[in-house]
Chain A
């Protein structure tokens, strides 16, 4: 899909080229993450694909066509673009921002309007609620969502993303990453993703291209990168605790089905039944769901002693946090650490209970790996 051949970029007035004789091939539907320390040429490489920077020498092919011979404006209209600072237009409403490329492509108004609403919904924003607002009225996480929606508005086959989830807190970032992967599963775009965070690279990438001083050091799948780093530099980049990094690679739903977990109690289950259930097994708590299977909270053995009441509903302790089943095991681990608990409840998008992951499960996964 994207083929970079012998590309070199030298900025005027600089002795050393920013990118040196780079060869890289990215398959259709893959997320290729360019990773490396700052100044390694990863952003420059990405920006040569849509010709924000022109290569000094070499060629770039998109779908077999020579990108350097195409009209740059036409080329860019078919490549989604999200940059580090998001670059939302502050004087335009969220709707107008997302409609940028449709307007450049001169889509009819009705079609644009429908598409904008669709895109905002896709990234989890309410078109009614947020559409007429200005970027300054949104939170950092919401702005990043708008950036993604804007880049995808005309459904370009290729997307370039330069640290699109950079400027938000870790929890919001993990959420945005998961949501984006969920969207990508559906749309299957070819994505060039730039980051300096190796954890993000391992989580997001189908392939990872490690760069240093303008040169490609290794281009491999996350698994291969972790198990067979090409040289000292790559192994120092991925770090020592590789088994923990593997937790980025596994989604909760992949291990959830193999786990044998007690059924959750309903809100109207009688206390005696719960007590019996807990006494008969070695578990010390049970999750509680309502009639729609939505997660309500947890009841521990100690809670049963403290309070009085007849139904489960009287004993429920609310949970601070839960994770969705498409989050990675690493996300589950960070939630556990944050809440100081040895478990975390797993729900689906509609907050319906799916199961529970414990610290022991994570240990088992890491152990199997080694």
Chain B
């Protein structure tokens, strides 16, 4: 038990340690006074906290809504609507994330909530699409034999369709995380903070050290989340 827990946490702990090493190094070895003022433990922690909140809130919302709507659209009665939505989603995915933020900024305004909402909408797309596709692609023969053995539509959904679609849904969530972590760094443009703030400050002061600190911490966050979800998936899906 302790051994498996250790294996689970080994990579995340290593990555967190890397993040701490980077932060401590940059705070203690500033190249000049500008860097020293921008990079303090307080500013890094504040940006990281804001960044995590942006990601977590928007991701959890996107997973809940994306999976539920995906399931709904996969029901036989809504199937054709589902196909339509799938196309709209595919088009929506091609809009650049900066454009989405700009769009929301002009419509709703500035701040954390707007950024969360924009990230949420943007991350829903791959999750919704994959949930729909995952359920629709469960072979007919499997659904029919379940039906023929007397399973109700709800039991078929929970015992057959969702478990079989699970790997595809998880793939959608991982895509969403990658998109989310990139887009979250842009939230600073509508005054929502996050690690993007460090990057933007670094860029405007032309100090690479600040940019690299912000960017590497954002990347590490994404890798840790992706790794954890991958572990959950491997734990659940034993049948492939």
Contact = CB atoms under 8 A, between A and B. Distances in A.
A269 interface: no
Given A83-B141, A91-B163, A91-B164, A101 B239 contact: no
A185 B148 CA distance: 25
Q: By DSSP majority rule, is chain A's interface helix, strand, loop, or mixed?
A: mixed
Interface string B119-154: 000000000000000000001011011111111100
A89 interface: yes
User: How extensive is the interface on chain B, given as a class?
Assistant: 20 to 34
With a 10 A CB-CB cut-off, give which of B145, B151, B155, B240 has the most chain A CB atoms: B145
B141 A134 contact: no
Interface stretch (A16-24, A70-78, A217-225, A315-323): A70-78
A81 interface: yes
A104 interface: yes
Interface in A70-106: 73-77, 79, 81-92, 100-101, 104
A151 B150 CA distance: 11
A178 interface: no
B90 to A, nearest CB: 28
Contact of B150 (A73, A84, A134): A73
A151 B152 CA distance: 17
B229 interface: no
B1 to A, nearest CB: 21
Contact of A90 (B146, B149, B151, B239): B239
Given A84-B141, A85-B141, A87-B142, A76 B148 contact: yes
B239 A136 contact: yes
A74 B144 CA distance: 16
Interface in B142-183: 142, 144-152, 155, 160, 163-164
A283 B164 CA distance: 61
Given A89-B160, A90-B239, A134-B239, A101 B150 contact: yes
User: How extensive is the interface on chain A, given as a class?
Assistant: 20 to 34
Contact of B164 (A85, A90, A136): A90
Contacts of A359: none
Contacts of B148: 47, 50, 52, 76, 79, 81, 83, 160
Contacts of A136: 239-240
A81 B239 contact: no
A333 B155 CA distance: 48
Given A73-B152, A104-B155, A136-B239, A89 B146 contact: yes
B149 A91 contact: no
Given A90-B239, A91-B163, A104-B155, A85 B150 contact: no
A151 B145 CA distance: 10
Nearest to B167: A91
A89 B159 CA distance: 10
A81 B163 CA distance: 22
Nearest to A147: B145
Nearest to B153: A73
B155 A90 contact: no
A134 B239 CA distance: 6
B223 to A, nearest CB: 28
Interface in A322-340: none
A50 B141 CA distance: 16
Contacts of B144: 52, 83, 87
A301 B149 CA distance: 58
Contacts of A101: 149-150
Nearest to A133: B239
Nearest to B164: A91
B142 to A, nearest CB: 5
Sorted nearest first, the 8 A-B pairs with minimum C-beta distance are A87-B145, A76-B150, A81-B148, A77-B150, A85-B141, A87-B141, A91-B239, A134-B239
19 contacts: A47-B148, A52-B148, A74-B150, A76-B147, A77-B149, A83-B141, A85-B139, A85-B141, A87-B142, A87-B145, A89-B142, A90-B142, A91-B239, A100-B151, A104-B151, A104-B155, A134-B238, A134-B239, A136-B240
Given A47-B148, A73-B151, A77-B149, 18 more contacts: A52-B147, A74-B150, A76-B149, A77-B150, A79-B148, A81-B149, A83-B141, A83-B144, A83-B145, A84-B141, A85-B141, A87-B139, A87-B141, A88-B145, A90-B239, A101-B150, A136-B239, A150-B149
